[in-house]
Chain A
Amino acid sequence: MSTPANTIETFANQEYKWGFVSDIAAETIPEGLNEDVIRLISHKKNEPEFMLEWRLKAYRHWLTMKEPDWANVHYPPIDYQKMVYYAAPKTNVDRPKSLDEVDPELLRTYEKLGIPLQERELLAGVAVDAVFDSVSVATTFKSKLAEVGIIFCSFSEAVQDHPDLIKKYLGTVVPSSDNFFAALNSAVFSDGSFCYVPKGVRCPMELSTYFRINAKNTGQFERTLIIADEGAYVSYLEGCTAPMRDTNQLHAAVVELIALDNAQIKYSTVQNWYPGDKQGRGGIYNFVTKRGACRGVHSKISWTQVETGSAITWKYPSCLLIGDHSVGEFYSVALTNHYQQADTGTKMIHIGKNTTSTIVSKGISAGHGQNTYRGAVKILKSASHARNYSQCDSMLLGDKCGAHTFPYLEVKNTSSQVEHEASTSKIGEDQIFYCRQRGISTEDAVSMIVHGFCKEVFRELPMEFAVEAQKLLGVSLEGSVG
């Protein structure tokens, strides 16, 4: 058995094992970051001048910034000059030829999660010549969406086809100077998704399947922008319950949501990036900036996240409640097992009158996992009669893990109401034994108890996602008890 001390040492010693390896493919540029690299990225993507300027401005600002160190996470220093910032989508040459060449452990997990065969190939990065379903599925979806005027495409396409919308909204919620990782993302972002739902349109489907099939190789610096115009509604699902393989260690995505008058955006995430092995080696660093602006009256933005992957998660999906009567919601399940670390939560900034926010956070720690909830509720003077309800519950499995809660509260007027509840519980041997005495296996018992604990969050997820998320928690917790 390795002690935590020498595990960290091993971890430190192989910081480049999983990421930062330069690809031999022709479409790769040398490691390191400078203005030329950014010009090259922008050029390769055939971007208009304003995009290049925007990237350069972000880069210049980034140079003046310091990597944040306030989060309750620990990792060896990242050498940003050792990373490769542009790689064309992988050619079939470097990919596994079939599932036979893929790590059997991964295949077993797919099986447990009940991922369809075809998707397994995709997720494992198998070279699939004809991109079978995705073209036809994408086309069907796209035409259906186009009928009602919804624009849904990759970020790169949007830059080409809808530069006005990009110009108008990009960086207006998360400015390129917002924080170290957001600035880096703004300078070098690879691709992502763009969605615009026009006035009064209710998106006729969950934007999920399409994304799931097309999200491959969006890379480590993903950028998403979703705009719901007046009276529009959209539900967007990000990620996938299947473990995704990626050789890039650092992921720094930015997501911006904009809801105008009476618009609603529901954004659900299931994050299951490679968490590292049982000793804490490898794994993705997931440093994400997600923020939504409720700009219009009676607008609503709802974040639901299930975070089970990544070695380190640093993520605070937030809401700026600008419009009067706007509503912000954050429902989160974060699970850390083995040596995973998560520092996650939300910020609810109340600016408009009668704005309300709800925060429900469920942290589960197992193994040596460290789970931190960090949340801020800020009610400005202008936000009269604002209300917030926060509930932060932690569950511990075993005695080597940790749960931490840092709620920050700032109320600048006297007419607002803020309510905070917190609890920490230990999953009891008693509970597990009770289940086993009724014939339920330990694994099923743990999964059942944890699911019960997370119920308030799961019920916010779209139906099929909720079922997958439950399975995922079970699989992620395997071997953590008994």
Chain B
Amino acid sequence: MSLLEIRNLHATVAGREILKGIDLTVNAGEVHAIMGPNGSGKSTLAQVLSGRDLYHVTEGEIVYDGKDLLAMPPEDRAREGVFMAFQYPVEIPGVSNLYFLKAALNATRKHQGLADLDAMDFLALVKEKMALMEMEQALLSRPVNTGFSGGEKKRNEIFQMAVLEPRLAILDETDSGLDIDALKVVANGVNSLRSPQRAMIVVTHYQRLLNYIVPDFVHVLAEGRIVKSGGKELALELEETGYVGIEEVVERA
């Protein structure tokens, strides 16, 4: 059984249809890249998967691990192992990064019937994952994303992912706003989290990120539909031709 099965997904935002019939199957262990021009629906797909209520699903279904994903509130999706690395991570003043992460981890553990992780074990876990992301320990005691640089925010997202160990990770434009050094660190972190039990959906506008996080599959989204799917070479092809050709395909269809 596949981990994620999206069938004929239609979704609207403020009454406007953005996704117009998406079909996608993702198996555990696979990394799928979703590419496409601005406004093609990439981010909408990520938001729908994570349960953002600004987006309304009008048709279709999403089966995750044999369960109806659309019937679950966002927090249950998260507790079941769906993680989204946000394009724009939100600042929460006054709430320390460490406290936030502990609340998140323990919410998931509770859902799984496990006891809360005690402070010592939690700290040990966190330190191990921080090393992975080359993060400074000072970031732990700072308020969530508050005053973080763009790079620090993105790094913090992947760090959270490392701690929460999701089964399905959705990376929404994780490369945006990163310089090349930060991009490498983030990509290294992501790569170290690849595993046969875990699937990833990497949403990106540019091929650049895929040099470092090499996908198993690439899908091109345009006007709310997947217009082309292929292997990692498809991304390189797009890098050469751009999305212009793709838009023509859609127009002719």
Query: In the complex the two chains form, is A449's CB within 8 Å of B84's CB?
Result: no
Which of B78, B89, B93, B100 is A436 in contact with, Cβ under 8 Å? Answer: B78
Q: Which 6 pairs between the two chains have the least Cβ-Cβ distance?
A: A452-B94, A438-B104, A452-B95, A439-B78, A439-B107, A434-B90
A456 neighbours in B (Cβ, 8 Å): 94
Which of A434, A439, A454 is B92 in contact with, Cβ under 8 Å? Answer: A434
Answer whether residue B40 sits at the interface, using C-beta atoms and an 8 A cutoff: no
Residue from B52, B84, B86, B94 with most neighbouring chain A CB atoms (10 Å): B94
Query: In the complex the two chains form, is B95's CB within 8 Å of A438's CB?
Result: no
Answer whether residue B249 sits at the interface, using C-beta atoms and an 8 A cutoff: no
Interface size class of B (residues with CB under 8 A): 20 to 34
User: Complex: how many Å from CA A439 to CA B53?
Assistant: 16
Query: In the complex the two chains form, is B103's CB within 8 Å of A451's CB?
Result: no
Which of B75, B93, B99 is A439 in contact with, Cβ under 8 Å? Answer: B75
In chain B, positions 38-88 with a C-beta closer than 8 Å to chain A are 50-53, 73-75, 77-79, 83-84, 86
A435 neighbours in B (Cβ, 8 Å): 92, 100, 104
Which A residue sits closest to B105, measured CB to CB?
A439
Answer whether residue A140 sits at the interface, using C-beta atoms and an 8 A cutoff: no
Cβ contacts A395-436/B at 8 Å (1 or 0 each): 000000000000000000000000000000000101101111
Answer whether residue B143 sits at the interface, using C-beta atoms and an 8 A cutoff: yes
Query: In the complex the two chains form, is B89's CB within 8 Å of A434's CB?
Result: yes
Which of A433, A448, A453 is B100 in contact with, Cβ under 8 Å? Answer: A448
Interface of A is mostly: helix
Query: In the complex the two chains form, is A441's CB within 8 Å of B93's CB?
Result: no
Given the interface contacts A433-B52, A433-B74, A434-B89, does A440 sit within 8 Å of B95 by beta carbon? no
User: Complex: how many Å from CA A219 to CA B50?
Assistant: 52
Cβ contacts B160-181/A at 8 Å (1 or 0 each): 1000100000000000000000
Chain A: minimal CB distance from B111 (Å): 7
A448 neighbours in B (Cβ, 8 Å): 92, 95, 99-100, 103
Residue from B91, B103, B160 with most neighbouring chain A CB atoms (10 Å): B103
B204 neighbours in A (Cβ, 8 Å): none
Answer whether residue B207 sits at the interface, using C-beta atoms and an 8 A cutoff: no
Number of residues from A at the complex interface, CB < 8 A: 22
Query: In the complex the two chains form, is B94's CB within 8 Å of A455's CB?
Result: yes
Query: In the complex the two chains form, is A438's CB within 8 Å of B94's CB?
Result: no
B73 neighbours in A (Cβ, 8 Å): 436
B78 neighbours in A (Cβ, 8 Å): 436-439
15 examples of A-B residue contacts, CB within 8 angstroms: A433-B52, A433-B53, A435-B100, A436-B51, A436-B78, A437-B83, A438-B100, A438-B160, A439-B78, A439-B108, A439-B164, A440-B104, A441-B75, A449-B92, A451-B95
B90 neighbours in A (Cβ, 8 Å): 428, 430-431, 433-434
Query: In the complex the two chains form, is B74's CB within 8 Å of A452's CB?
Result: no
A444 neighbours in B (Cβ, 8 Å): 103, 107
A433 neighbours in B (Cβ, 8 Å): 52-53, 74, 90
A453 neighbours in B (Cβ, 8 Å): 93-94
In chain B, positions 79-136 with a C-beta closer than 8 Å to chain A are 79, 83-84, 86, 89-95, 99-101, 103-105, 107-108, 111
User: Complex: how many Å from CA A456 to CA B92?
Assistant: 15
User: Complex: how many Å from CA A433 to CA B93?
Assistant: 15
User: Complex: how many Å from CA A444 to CA B90?
Assistant: 16
Which A residue sits closest to B88, measured CB to CB?
A430
B101 neighbours in A (Cβ, 8 Å): 438
Chain A: minimal CB distance from B113 (Å): 14
Chain B: minimal CB distance from A427 (Å): 10
Chain A: minimal CB distance from B206 (Å): 24
Residue from A433, A439, A441, A453 with most neighbouring chain B CB atoms (10 Å): A439
Query: In the complex the two chains form, is B100's CB within 8 Å of A437's CB?
Result: no
Given the interface contacts A434-B92, A451-B95, does A439 sit within 8 Å of B104 by beta carbon? yes
User: Complex: how many Å from CA A436 to CA B74?
Assistant: 6
A441 neighbours in B (Cβ, 8 Å): 75, 107
Query: In the complex the two chains form, is A440's CB within 8 Å of B107's CB?
Result: yes
Given the interface contacts A448-B100, A452-B143, does A437 sit within 8 Å of B92 by beta carbon? no
B91 neighbours in A (Cβ, 8 Å): 431
Residue from B73, B104, B105 with most neighbouring chain A CB atoms (10 Å): B104
A449 neighbours in B (Cβ, 8 Å): 92, 95
A455 neighbours in B (Cβ, 8 Å): 94
Which B residue sits closest to A449, measured CB to CB?
B92
Given the interface contacts A431-B90, A434-B89, A453-B94, does A440 sit within 8 Å of B84 by beta carbon? no
Which of A434, A451, A452 is B86 in contact with, Cβ under 8 Å? Answer: A434
Chain A: minimal CB distance from B230 (Å): 30
User: Complex: how many Å from CA A427 to CA B222?
Assistant: 34
Which B residue sits closest to A482, measured CB to CB?
B53
B53 neighbours in A (Cβ, 8 Å): 433
Which A residue sits closest to B78, measured CB to CB?
A439
Chain B: minimal CB distance from A425 (Å): 8
Residue from A433, A438, A442 with most neighbouring chain B CB atoms (10 Å): A438
Query: In the complex the two chains form, is B143's CB within 8 Å of A439's CB?
Result: no
Which of B84, B93, B94, B105 is A437 in contact with, Cβ under 8 Å? Answer: B84
Residue from A430, A434, A448, A456 with most neighbouring chain B CB atoms (10 Å): A434
Residue from A430, A433, A437, A455 with most neighbouring chain B CB atoms (10 Å): A437
User: Complex: how many Å from CA A428 to CA B91?
Assistant: 10
Which B residue sits closest to A441, measured CB to CB?
B75
B52 neighbours in A (Cβ, 8 Å): 433
Which of B93, B107, B108 is A452 in contact with, Cβ under 8 Å? Answer: B93
Cβ contacts A100-140/B at 8 Å (1 or 0 each): 00000000000000000000000000000000000000000
A451 neighbours in B (Cβ, 8 Å): 94-95
Q: A436-B74, A437-B86 are in contact. List 5 more A-B contacts (CB 8 A).
A: A433-B74, A433-B90, A434-B92, A448-B99, A448-B103
B164 neighbours in A (Cβ, 8 Å): 438-439
Given the interface contacts A448-B92, A449-B92, does A437 sit within 8 Å of B51 by beta carbon? yes
Query: In the complex the two chains form, is B79's CB within 8 Å of A439's CB?
Result: yes
Chain B: minimal CB distance from A464 (Å): 19
User: Complex: how many Å from CA A55 to CA B105?
Assistant: 60
Chain B: minimal CB distance from A259 (Å): 31
Which A residue sits closest to B109, measured CB to CB?
A439
Query: In the complex the two chains form, is B92's CB within 8 Å of A440's CB?
Result: no
Cβ contacts A359-397/B at 8 Å (1 or 0 each): 000000000000000000000000000000000000000
Chain A: minimal CB distance from B48 (Å): 13
In chain A, positions 445-482 with a C-beta closer than 8 Å to chain B are 448-449, 451-456
A454 neighbours in B (Cβ, 8 Å): 94
B108 neighbours in A (Cβ, 8 Å): 439
